[in-house]
Amino acid sequence: MTGLVMFIAALLMLLIGFPVAFTFGAVAIIFGAIAAYFELAQDGTVLFMDWFDEFFSMFSMMPFRIYSIMGNKILIAIPLFIFMGIVLEKSGIAQRLLESMGTLFGKIRGGLAVSTVIIGTMLAASTGVVGASVVAMGVIALPVMLKHGYDKGIATGTICASGTLGQIIPPSIVLIILADVFSQPVGDLFKAAVLPSIILVSAYIIYILIVANIKKEIAPAMKDVKISFKNIIISLLPPLILIVLVLGSIFAGIATATESASVGAIGSLILAAFYKKLNLKLIETAAIEAVKTTSMVFAILIGATAFSMVFTYSGADGIVEEFLTSLPHAKMLFIFLVMAIIFFLGFFIDFIEISYIVVPILLPVADSLGINPVWFAILIAMNLQSSFLTPPFGFSLFYLRGVAPKEVSTIDIYKGVIPFILIQVTILGLMVFFPHIFGF
């Protein structure tokens, strides 16, 4: 009972607006004290020193866990990939790609939206930073689409959906975190995510082309477009080389994810130099932003570790496992229930909290049911991507709202993302029922 109450208390504090890491840490300490008292109260009168010893012993392993977190080689990839993404975003790569692809596909109905999806895919594969992708495409692509008569809904929905591809396409920060939580090689999750990512991107493009040809007025073709293949090659080739170096080195077994992240970080600097954007200010900005984001991730992880220790101490993990394994048709019902819970929580809290708080509670049940951990991790990653799109609190919606012109309302953005959410949920359902289609 204590574990359930502490979980609800943590969610309420997050909804009120308390910082994530401090929320989990504070809830762990408060409910750890309560759990220690009730544990001793079963044997009679509780003395202060006995309670203090019980409470202290509960957290005695925290220094070792923190040291283990800080020495985790998988997590080293996070600041390196974040640094790479910020350098590429600040060097103007998104603008070059969008301008080039816009001229290539602009002559067909929905061409600008299709080019936005393709660039979102390339940005995801080279940066993995959702916020940077959404903001960059919102600033560059949205005014162009509106100028050429695109419906506000399809324009904003395409940008939000394309920007969140960084959640599922390697080198995704989500996949790195889940690899740590699941104790699986990062490379295995990266490989497993490729085919679902391709199918999802293809579904986006097919939807845009069908809608654009049925309702011709919502995504018209561009007029008087001059295609320069030289500019297209200059814009596309360097980022493609970087993607091949980063992901190819992992898939070929030449380098670990951490080693390839260092290749990506250096490669992004070389790319910035190629486009004549490399300077000390760029390096300083990227380094500071990478440190800030990484500090947030690790602070949340430490708070989540304390939370999970108290949750386990209270016996709540055993109650959850017993309940889920006792369900009829346990395996499929468990998957449905987990996907529904994560989808619901995605409305309110970030993917990092879900990955470090909710997922570890579910892992023992998944193990006992014999669920493929890599398949389960990709299902969760796909679900977490949806959380970036779901109104009213989807982060990509806020990112786009911050840079969208005044004539684009919040309702326009909400309406625009709904078809893409339905596409993601459909793909997620297919992954559950027909995993062999996705290589599992």
pLDDT confidence of residue 294:
79
pLDDT in tens, 83-130: 887 787 777 776 677 767 777 776 788 888 888 888 888 777 766 666
Q: Which residues contact 426 (CB under 8 A, 6 or more apart)?
A: 203
DSSP reduced 3-state for 371 = coil
Instruction: Find out whether 235 and 100 touch, Cβ atoms under 8 Å.
Output: yes
pLDDT confidence of residue 204:
93
Please state, in angstroms and rounded to a whole number, the distance separating the CA atoms of residues 101 and 106.
8
Residues of the chain with pLDDT under 50: none
Instruction: Find out whether 90 and 345 touch, Cβ atoms under 8 Å.
Output: no
**Start-to-end Cα distance in the chain:** 37
pLDDT confidence of residue 268:
85
pLDDT confidence of residue 303:
80
Q: Which residues contact 2 (CB under 8 A, 6 or more apart)?
A: 31, 34, 35, 38, 314, 316
pLDDT confidence of residue 127:
60
pLDDT confidence of residue 1:
60
pLDDT in tens, 169-178: 887 888 888 8
Q: pTM for the whole thing? A: 0.76
Look up residue 54 and give its two tokens: 């019980």
Return the amino acid letter for 199.
Answer: I
pLDDT confidence of residue 206:
93
Alpha helix positions (H), 314-388: 316-325, 330-345, 351-353, 359-368, 373-387
Please state, in angstroms and rounded to a whole number, the distance separating the CA atoms of residues 126 and 140.
18
DSSP reduced 3-state for 238 = helix
pLDDT confidence of residue 329:
66
Look up residue 50 and give its two tokens: 């006995």
| Residue in 26, 65, 317 with CA at minimum distance from that of residue 180 | 65
Please state, in angstroms and rounded to a whole number, the distance separating the CA atoms of residues 12 and 23.
10
pLDDT confidence of residue 430:
92
pLDDT confidence of residue 393:
62
pLDDT in tens, 85-98: 778 777 777 667 77
pLDDT confidence of residue 45:
66
DSSP secondary structure of 258-311: HHHHHHHHHHHHHHHHHTT---HHHHHHHHHHHHHHHHHHHHHHHHHHHHHHHH
pLDDT confidence of residue 16:
74
